[in-house]
Amino acid sequence: MAVVSACAAVGLVASGCSSGGANSSGRDEHVLLLSVDGMHESDLTDYLAAHPDSNLGKLAGRGVHYTDAQTPIPSDSFPGLMAMLTGGSPKTTGVYYDDSWARDLLPAGTTDCAHAAKGAQVDLTEDLDKNVHRIDGGQGLTGLPDSIGKMTDDPGTVIDQAKLPVDPASCKPLAPADYLKVNTVFSVLHAAGDRTAWTDKHPAYQIANGRGGRSIDDLFTPEISSSATDDPAADSWDKDNTLTRRYDTYKVDSVVNEIAGKDHSGATDAGVPVLFGMNFQTVSTAQKLPASKGYQADGKPGVLLSGALDFVDQQLGRMVTALDQAGLRDKTTIVLTAKHGQAPIKADSLTRIDDKKIIDAIDTEWAATHPATPKLIAHSVDDSALLMWLADRSAAAAAFVKQKLLAATGTGTDIAGNPKPFTASGVDKDKLYVGADAAAFFGVSFDDPRVPDVYAGVTPGTVYTGGKSKIAEHGGMTPDDRHVPLIVAGNGIAEHDEKSEVALAQIAPTILHRLGLDPAKLDAVAAEHTALLPGA
């Protein structure tokens, strides 16, 4: 592994190195990256106060606890993870959400690329699987679910190519990794000859390889949205927190196997990855399901969510113990954070709104005077924010959508499922960006082929859903969405709380810096001049 000056590569002032921001006493041989999806900084702070001797407490006690870490906007799994792995925001990565729209691509299944109209959904969810009902994504393993360790280390093989958008230049399906506009930390490490691994929740996380081909040697992606039994109608792993914990345990098993120098299955000697890690889903499930009740009235975790945090703490302990047994604890940087938070924390602020009714009304009224455009909203994703891509990108169409969103009133439901009125579609009128303003908000030109035409922050507590099956979501810009935990512990890092605001994108260059590699080898770091995390 070639060692270069990270401060020189990224820029002395920008990186924070000039003030002792980066440790100079040594590097580590490995980085373990962990994302506790949905977890808030407030969850971590409360947990550390109540459990100072916990595994989380011990981790914070030997590293930097960043008390003001922020996710990108939109605060979704894919922008969040891409920030951690690339050092960039959606304007550079091109990834705005796990389900979005690209004006420069052709719809899935297109074969006559010379005559097809551009504009395609880009779905990075479980929908890409060959068989969404199976935890192996359709690989065909026997003995599931407990045989899931045998799942392929190349999830591209269980992605249904017919569901991918088509590249008009090649007239071939575009894999998630090729949709990403930049490289990742895995790309840089792979080029340096280092072994890499990652574990996540859908085969679509093949995107983590980054532009330029496969760079993750062992990518383990059991499908969380699959049926937990052989019955396709059975609950999926994310519909019951007990099931989610069992599912997350499979993933922790993979990391423990890798710490021991095996592949994720534990069956083959492979060598310990230089960079590896996983995401947890247990906290997210406990936050979102009505049966869990999420948080108490005072904003503190309820019984099930408290148990989910305990579970994560126990599993962190398993991984730290494995590092100790392998003699790697003092050679490994551990980064613990979250791809996104979850909103709202205060249950009494929840207002569920059926966004389909709002969208249908906009399309219908527009079509009445514009019959050539029967569907103005070409694509929308609405969780705890509104994202829309328009078929007509004129200023008049953008103004029409804005006016209709602000005028829409109706009745949603509260935490108990009772009627609750809403105004202005549930959006915050001061955080509604349309047309050129939306492009400017994200820092791109209006002709960017991927930027949403509408992005709206919401009034606190708004969640868009047609049913009553969730009590929280993510994707917005409120503190509940964006303010996440971040701890970095490793060789030469002094224990302290860092109160300055930092971004998840700063994790990527910091990972390479910790491993003695040049952060500027990351395309997004070079483009956005992403700083290192201070003190790491």
Where are any strands of DSSP class E within 117-259? Answer: 120-123, 166-167, 172-173, 197-199, 218-220
Please give the DSSP secondary-structure letter assigned to residue 227.
B
Burial of 260 (0-12, 13-18, 19+ CB in 10 A): middle
Residue position matching structure tokens 């490995």: 30
Per-residue confidence in pLDDT tens, the chain, 536 aa: 333 333 433 433 333 332 233 334 458 999 999 999 999 999 999 999 999 999 999 999 999 999 999 999 999 999 999 999 999 999 999 999 999 999 999 999 999 999 999 999 999 999 999 999 999 999 999 999 999 999 999 999 999 999 999 999 999 999 999 999 999 999 999 999 999 999 999 999 999 999 888 999 999 999 999 999 988 888 999 999 999 999 999 999 999 999 999 999 999 999 999 999 999 999 999 999 988 889 998 999 999 999 999 999 999 999 999 999 999 999 999 999 999 999 999 999 999 999 999 999 999 999 999 999 999 999 999 999 999 999 999 999 999 999 999 999 999 999 999 999 999 999 999 999 999 999 999 999 999 999 999 999 999 999 999 999 899 999 999 999 999 999 999 999 999 999 999 999 999 999 999 999 999 999 999 999 999 999 99
Tokens of 240: 């019951």
β-bridge pairing 197-199 and 218-220 = parallel
User: Who's near 418: CB < 8 A, 6+ residues apart?
Assistant: none
Q: What are phi and psi of 22, to 5 degrees?
A: -110, 140
pTM higher than 0.85, yes or no? Answer: yes
